[in-house]
Structure formats: structure tokens, C-alpha cells
Structure 1
């Protein structure tokens, strides 16, 4: 009986290893970018990466990291958005309380648009064809018409907006970080229709969406990805993620949800069905790699970070090593 039990156990272990899941993603390269300053969001547009970097946006080739230019004078820049029909790019400048408009071909500055206080996340909303900023200190959204490059409306919120996404059919969803909630906005009326608690999730930061299944993916401070039904606000799943998430993304071709974690991991979650989600693996990245962009064409994940000096007691974050700013390249091997 003992021999049979041992044989069965070995067979079970073998089968477990045989069917162990792997995303195939691995850290394969890093693109080093000169200059001081912190960072926040990164964005992919066609063959270029746009990387927020302190007082400017670095533009690099997504294939090899070669410098292709920069957008200057964007102090406190958080995010970058694009209106490819009008050939314009937009940066949210948190310390200047404005948005910079630039030409996507020449990088020439076209306009500076005043917004709410501390514009953070920014994105192109394809239903209304507007640019939207999340104003972190004025608890509002600025709605920008890219034809006139003017703020045409402001939507008041119940708390601090962190990130927003669109379902492409007239609804925008916003993480309300300090209330651990998500607000639903109707882009026809420009009114908040619902604000849903995401408990047990806390302090949502990154937000992404599967438009097909109508599911929202909110990366939370308490190492949890909250999957929310975008039609009624119910929490349908809470898979575990790494610590320090500041960005999530969804790849509809692979049905993968990604969470970039400042601890130095990339959590990859498989959407099995609209209400079932399995963690595939936590791919090692580097400390500080807390935001991300996924190329929808190549499925490559890009994450900005730097090297850090030893932490000093009392400091919120350890100082970065000068000249070590970089973009990590994580792709399937």
C-alpha cells in the first residue's frame, strides 16, 4: 500500500508540474533614458513610447529605445493621451494645472489649456471624441474639445479621481481613490449616475476595462485586483496582486489583465470568463515599476522605473540613483 501511495503521489506531482500555468512573459530588455526627474504614466502610440519624466515627456522608439524627441515644459507631468485623427498629443501637467497640446509629427507645442488642480490621468474618450483629465486636488474631470483645444465642461466628483476609462458606448468610469469607490458618468448628460463601493478593495489606483464583458479592473492598495461589473457595480472577483500597484491594463486578444506592482512584479491574470479570473504568475520586474503600457499589436508590456539607493529611515521612498531612469520591456519568450 505504501509503494502504491508513493507512486500515486509522484504521479500527481508530475501532473501538477506538467499543467502549471505560465504566461510566457519575461523581462527581456531595458531602455535607458538620460536625465533627472521622477515619472508616472507611459503610453504607446503607433511605433512610439511616450514616457512622463519630471518636467518633460521623452519620446522613444518602442522597438529599440532610441530617442525620437521630447515634449518640454510639462512640469509634474502625469499622463499622455492622443487624438490620432487630429494628429495631436496631450500631456497632463500636475504642477502647472494645465494640459500641453503638441503635434504628433513634429512634437511642436500647439497650446496650453488650463484645467482643474493637479490634472493626473488623461485619456481620449472615443465616444464623445473628447480629452478627459482627472483633477486630483479639485475632485473633478476636465472635458477638453480637441477641435478647439478648450475645456468645454467640468464634472464634479465626490472624491479624488485617480484614473478613468471608457466603455466606448457613452459611459466613463473613474476610480475615486480616497473613497474606495468607482463612479459611473454618462457622457451624454455629463452627470455622475452612480458611485459604487469596491469593498473589500481599498484605495484604487490603476483602472482598465474589458469592453466586451463589461468588466472593470481596479488595482487596489491592499494587494487586490477588484473586478467590477460595469453594468450594476457588483464586485465579481478579487484576485491577489503584488504590492504597490499604480496601473492595470487589459489585452483583449489574450484575455490577460496586467497589474504593475511597485514591489517589482507584474501580476498576470487570465480572464477565464466574465466572472472567473485566475492568477497565471507574478513576473519579476524591478522595484518601482508601478505603471505600465501594453502594446495592443505586439502584446509587449512597458514599465518605467529606475535604480534606487538604500532606503533612509523616515523617507517615504528611497532616492533614485542619478541617471538610472529606464523603461523595462516584458514580452513573451
Structure 2
């Protein structure tokens, strides 16, 4: 494969040189965490130089200066997403098994008050600096519980009409989310919570990860059927559809490099797509990661990419309750992978 890529690069000349410059990602470090349990989102706090990693029933806190685990936030059953609000000195964690949100102190990592009840299966969450609100998105039932970011008080519920996945914001009062079960990306008002626009993503199906470029008003929806769908956030019109790897559950856009990157857990790759212009996109290539590395976080300061995974063992025997069991996770192998130039 490597020889074929090199041959193609020579044939393409200047275009290949641009492609190589657009995606110079390689594995920079492996941060061993260990322990047991599954994982979902990672979240970079550039101000605090920390990486928050969901892991089983807890959140692992990594110092990005030393690449060492410096703390753990326990008692977060079914943890999915982590979001921090440095101005408020607090962070928020969605707990899918208890339908709650845990609030914690950024300095001590200790909980602040009792967990906040949410809608069913809270998954992704997002802090919107424009409205100063934290949005907790349910992956079942189409609701979003909305909190005051400074106090944690519930200030509303958004009715979004589908199972919500990853969010983004334009920074001017509009929030975007993928609806996994509807095959849509929607826009809603951060203050009134009213849905403004629904855009179909077909031929994309079951969208999860969502990247956004506010300069060109482009949304990047990573779909389960190995497609990335590019949508104009102002008009809802589809701009492009590109191939990506299997099992994508994350997508980011880096405005400095012009790269859209999807994390593909089944393929064990990042797919890198370059935005040549608001209407022209090209697949640069796939970067090997590891099986199970399905989510992604971008550090806007260093432009490094983070994902996480563990080694897999055999699947347990099927049962009536679980006819298609997932492979077991080998204890002690959970790790974070960091990519960059």
C-alpha cells in the first residue's frame, strides 16, 4: 500500500505535495491509563492544558504538559461526554446509565452538589459561550436539557425531534446537531431553543461526529455508512459527499490546516479530508490508529489529535439477553493516542 501511495504521489506532482502538507499526522505519544471499562468522548481544555477522557464509571484527567494522569473523577456511571467552563471553574459530565449530569470543580475535581437529572440516555454535551449555556443531548427521545453554565441550574428543554449526536456552534446563537435516527443535521436557536432548519443527509446514514468551519459555514457529518456529508449551514444545501472509514464516531475540523478528520473505530484509522475551497474537498488519505479508536478530540493550540482505545479479547458466549456480545476488553490496556506532525 505504501509503495502504491508513493507512486501515486509522484504521478500527481504538485497536488501530491499539497496532500502531504495537508495531513502530516503521525503517532506522537501513547498515554497509558490502564484499568478496566469502555470509553466514549475525549475533551481538550486548552486553557487548563488538560485532557478529559471518559472511561467506564469515571473520567481520567491527563496533564497535557507531562502526558501523565493527574486525577480521576469517579462515580460517573455510563460516562459519555465531558465539557469544562473555565470562567465558571466547573465542568459537566453526562452519565448515560443514571440519566444525570455530574458537575465538578476544575481545581479539586470534586463534585459540586448532587447530580442533575437529564433526559434519557444523555450522551454528547456542549458549552456555548454565546448563550453561556451547557446543552446536554439525549441519544433517546430527542430532548436536550439546557443548563446555566455558571450555576448548573436547568433553564429549559429543547425538543429536537430525534436521537441527538455530536454538536457544534456558530458562536452567534445557533447550535447544530446530528440526529442519528433521522439522518439529519439540524440548526436550533441557543436562547429560544426553537429548531430553525432540518437538512437531510442522504445518502449519508446514522450521522454521529460533527465538525464545523465557521468561516465557510460548512458542517461535516460523519455517517455510519462510510460517508462524510458536507452541508452549507446557512442554507441547508448539501455541498459534497466523501468516503471515510468504517465505524466513524467523531469528526473535527482544524481551520489552520484546512483538514476535516474522522475517527473510524472499525477501520482503526483517521480519514483526512482537505478543504481546498468551500465547494471542493478531497480525501488526502487514512492514518493508521487502532481498532476501537472511534472518537477524537482536537487541541486548538497544538493542532494535535487525540483518540483512545484498548486491546480486545474474545467475545463472551451469546445469551438470550445479549445475542451479539461485543469482544471483551483486556484489563490494563486502555490508552490515549496522540497524533500530530
- Normalised to the residue count of structure 1, the TM-score between the two structures is 0.92
Q: 2:336 aligns with which of 324, 327, 330?
A: 327
Per-residue CA deviation, residues 185-212 of structure 1 (Å, 9 max, x unaligned), is: 0123211122111111100000121111
**1:16 aligned to 2:12?**
yes
Deviates more, 1:58-67 or 1:269-278: 58-67
Counterpart position of 1:201:
204
Aligned partners of 1:246 and 1:12: how far apart in 2? 29
Unaligned runs of 5+ in 2: 1-6
Deviation at 1:283, TM superposition (A): 0.3
Counterpart position of 1:59:
61
* Contact 1:32 1:65 (C-alpha < 8 Å) held by counterparts: no
Aligned partners of 1:12 and 1:61: how far apart in 2? 40
Counterpart position of 2:276:
272
* Contact 1:92 1:119 (C-alpha < 8 Å) held by counterparts: yes
Q: Is the alpha carbon distance of 1:276 and 1:118 closer, same or farther for their aligned partners in structure 2, counting shifts above 3 Å?
A: same
Deviates more, 1:188-197 or 1:91-100: 188-197
* Contact 2:36 2:329 (C-alpha < 8 Å) held by counterparts: no
Counterpart position of 2:285:
281
SS of equivalent residue, structure 2 residue 188: strand
Unaligned runs of 5+ in 1: 1-10
Aligned partners of 2:326 and 2:304: how far apart in 1? 28
SS of equivalent residue, structure 2 residue 181: helix
Q: 1:156 aligns with which of 156, 159, 180?
A: 159
Deviation at 1:277, TM superposition (A): 1.0
* Contact 2:141 2:161 (C-alpha < 8 Å) held by counterparts: no
* Contact 1:31 1:64 (C-alpha < 8 Å) held by counterparts: no
Counterpart position of 2:238:
235
Counterpart position of 2:4:
none
Per-residue CA deviation, residues 258-317 of structure 1 (Å, 9 max, x unaligned), is: 100012000111111112111111000000000010111111111011111245786453
- Normalised to the residue count of structure 2, the TM-score between the two structures is 0.90
If you compute each CA radius of gyration, which structure gives the higher value, 1 or 2?
Answer: 1
Aligned partners of 2:191 and 2:284: how far apart in 1? 39
Counterpart position of 1:225:
228
Q: In angstroms, what is the RMSD of aligned CA positions? A: 1.8
Aligned partners of 2:191 and 2:156: how far apart in 1? 12
Aligned partners of 1:249 and 1:119: how far apart in 2? 21
Aligned partners of 2:102 and 2:69: how far apart in 1? 20
Counterpart position of 1:120:
123
Aligned partners of 1:228 and 1:157: how far apart in 2? 19
Per-residue CA deviation, residues 64-119 of structure 1 (Å, 9 max, x unaligned), is: 43111011111001001111111111101111111111111111211321111111
Counterpart position of 1:34:
34
Aligned partners of 2:329 and 2:185: how far apart in 1? 33
Q: Is the alpha carbon distance of 1:232 and 1:324 closer, same or farther for their aligned partners in structure 2, counting shifts above 3 Å?
A: same
Counterpart position of 1:85:
87
* Contact 1:55 1:72 (C-alpha < 8 Å) held by counterparts: yes
Aligned partners of 1:94 and 1:227: how far apart in 2? 29
Deviates more, 1:107-116 or 1:213-222: 107-116
Question: Number of aligned pairs?
Answer: 322
* Contact 1:249 1:257 (C-alpha < 8 Å) held by counterparts: yes
* Contact 2:26 2:339 (C-alpha < 8 Å) held by counterparts: yes
